[in-house]
Structure 1
């Protein structure tokens, strides 16, 4: 879904006030669910989640955390619900055989780096991770899912956005009231710069929650002077468009689609025609690319990014402490 504009307009926006009772009821239900006791996976479980609906950078963060776990001598596996896919699982993802329509787009990206399981039943998915030899599980999303005991939950925050107006869905973007989510948080990952992210970072520090600053870094820098038609179906398409401009590329046009959008043939044909008419290259994100037909991907440039921590040693220390303490 694309976040409604009023979610960023403050809690006194007329729509936010009208929807606040529904948000309070929904948030209370989610908060009570979060307080339930889950089962242990038999190895450490590290969750990359967020306070809100929408994309915040969880998947790049999960990839970097898994790489740090490997540096610490662990054999991690990814566990995902497979949002946008129709497979209930538990099932191991094979990028050579599976499509985004089957398993979701994020699992296809994760599976390029480590064994990846999609499962709506998280304990069942964790059991399959263990059978595959994993001795640590990295959950991509799942902070609000209580079915597994999490040894560490790292909440990812997109600094320019923060938590919007601070209200639960549908009045705002929060999945549950912040006060009810904080007890489940073991660390905060703030991506980028922005006053909303600074506010959340201060709230975390006041509670003794470690704050890890991070940024998204482009894999290549050969974009300067290119004329592009950029399109994206992610949580914040405008963030992708801004990143592309920062590379020195010229945006002839941009097209925003809903998060996890399944592109139709007519839409792809329209993108090709618009690029031809504008004499521009088609450019998209890595997450979008896995949802496109192979024949179309061959005609598109992909902007790849990775998450880099400002102080990776601090993250390693926290991970090591969790690994040492886990039963």
Structure 2
């Protein structure tokens, strides 16, 4: 996936104006799909962790946190994910001993470290496989706009620093569907990022009566990099967020950003290795990037071996998200009366 164009984060630009007609058509189709009746109510709670926009916002760390909440509650969760960046269409049960990021994507590998993960574009087929394997609750990593499964709870993750950009639908802006449509399906917003939550986001949440919960990505091993000169590289939705985290840990950071889900080449690996050596810097990357390099050969294999990983986890500012997750376990139907749907049997 290419990096998001700069005009997505500008309130008014010639590019967004030019793309507005296409954006309107795309938004109408995407919005219509969200209103469709779900194809399946799987008989177990379905907790969706999604976002309003294209690209990363912190969904996977939030999904990991939700899975840990469920495990602590004595449940047997399974994660459903498309496996972006992987070539297997699925559904397939992720096996870190067999599959690589090239097979099932980097997010699936990370999630499979703590719970069963079913990878596949068909969420209904994936749900059936997960339940057959023993899952009593499903966590969807992404899929907020997907209508195929009836959702019990939808947590929408937003990067508090980036917000919703120019508020326009793809390709004129970063939104996956019109915002007013998406807000009707959101049970809560999780704003991820240090510092105050974007004022516009607070206003939006208040206008629609949606709870907003702040959270930060907290480094788990930040002390390892305090006082170190590091060459940080990342192919995630917003690499700058990763570089800022390392700086907050006390590191002297030189950052090299790549596109989201970037697959490193030998040439790029050689350049990073050479620069780190010439500048006397420690190579540091994200867990997702390390997962993508794990089964590589040649220079990328050497880059993986030479790189340290900054591990992060979600730290919620309050108990709201946990309360919502635990409450969802007792729900017997999807929360769709608000949309005017008949309850899914």
TM-score, normalization: structure 1? 0.96
Q: Does 1:56 align with 2:63?
A: no
Alignment of 1:12-161 (within 5 A): 12-38=12-38, 39-161=40-162
Task: Note the alpha carbon deviations across 1:43-86, whole angstroms, 9 max, x for none.
Answer: 11000000000100000000001111222221111100000100
Give the drift of 1:320. Answer: 2.5
Partner of 1:238: 240
Instruction: Please identify, of 130-139 and 317-326, the stretch whose mean Cα deviation from structure 2 is larger.
Output: 317-326
State the secondary structure of the residue aligned to 2:156. Answer: strand
Q: Does 1:304 align with 2:311?
A: yes
Equivalent-residue separation in structure 1 for 2:189 and 2:143 (angstroms): 15
State the secondary structure of the residue aligned to 1:41. Answer: coil
Contact 1:158 1:197 in 2 (8 A): no
State the secondary structure of the residue aligned to 2:224. Answer: coil
Equivalent-residue separation in structure 1 for 2:154 and 2:179 (angstroms): 15
Partner of 1:320: 326
Give the drift of 1:158. Answer: 0.6
Give the drift of 1:121. Answer: 0.6
Equivalent-residue separation in structure 2 for 1:260 and 1:132 (angstroms): 29
Alignment of 1:247-262 (within 5 A): 247-251=249-253, 253-262=254-263
Partner of 1:211: 212
- Runs in 1 of length 4+ with deviation above 4 angstroms? 193-196
Contact 1:2 1:258 in 2 (8 A): yes
State the secondary structure of the residue aligned to 1:79. Answer: strand
Give the drift of 1:36. Answer: 1.0
Task: Note the alpha carbon deviations across 1:102-123, whole angstroms, 9 max, x for none.
Answer: 0000000000010011011100
State the secondary structure of the residue aligned to 1:240. Answer: helix
Equivalent-residue separation in structure 1 for 2:81 and 2:102 (angstroms): 14
Task: Note the alpha carbon deviations across 1:121-149, whole angstroms, 9 max, x for none.
Answer: 10000011101111000000001111111
- Seen in structure 2, the aligned counterparts of structure 1 residues 218 and 135 have a Cα distance that, compared at 3 Å, is same
Contact 2:158 2:189 in 1 (8 A): yes
Equivalent-residue separation in structure 1 for 2:62 and 2:189 (angstroms): 11
Contact 1:161 1:194 in 2 (8 A): no
TM-score, normalization: structure 2? 0.91
Give the drift of 1:258. Answer: 0.8
Equivalent-residue separation in structure 2 for 1:142 and 1:237 (angstroms): 23
Task: Note the alpha carbon deviations across 1:178-197, whole angstroms, 9 max, x for none.
Answer: 01111111111111246673
Equivalent-residue separation in structure 2 for 1:198 and 1:301 (angstroms): 36
Equivalent-residue separation in structure 2 for 1:20 and 1:196 (angstroms): 28
Partner of 2:10: 9
Equivalent-residue separation in structure 2 for 1:27 and 1:196 (angstroms): 26
State the secondary structure of the residue aligned to 2:276. Answer: helix
Contact 1:229 1:280 in 2 (8 A): yes
**Structure 2 unaligned regions, length at least 5:** 296-300, 334-345
State the secondary structure of the residue aligned to 2:215. Answer: strand
Contact 1:190 1:201 in 2 (8 A): no
Give the drift of 1:22. Answer: 1.1
State the secondary structure of the residue aligned to 1:229. Answer: strand
Q: How many pairs does the alignment contain?
A: 324
Partner of 1:222: 224
Equivalent-residue separation in structure 2 for 1:121 and 1:136 (angstroms): 17
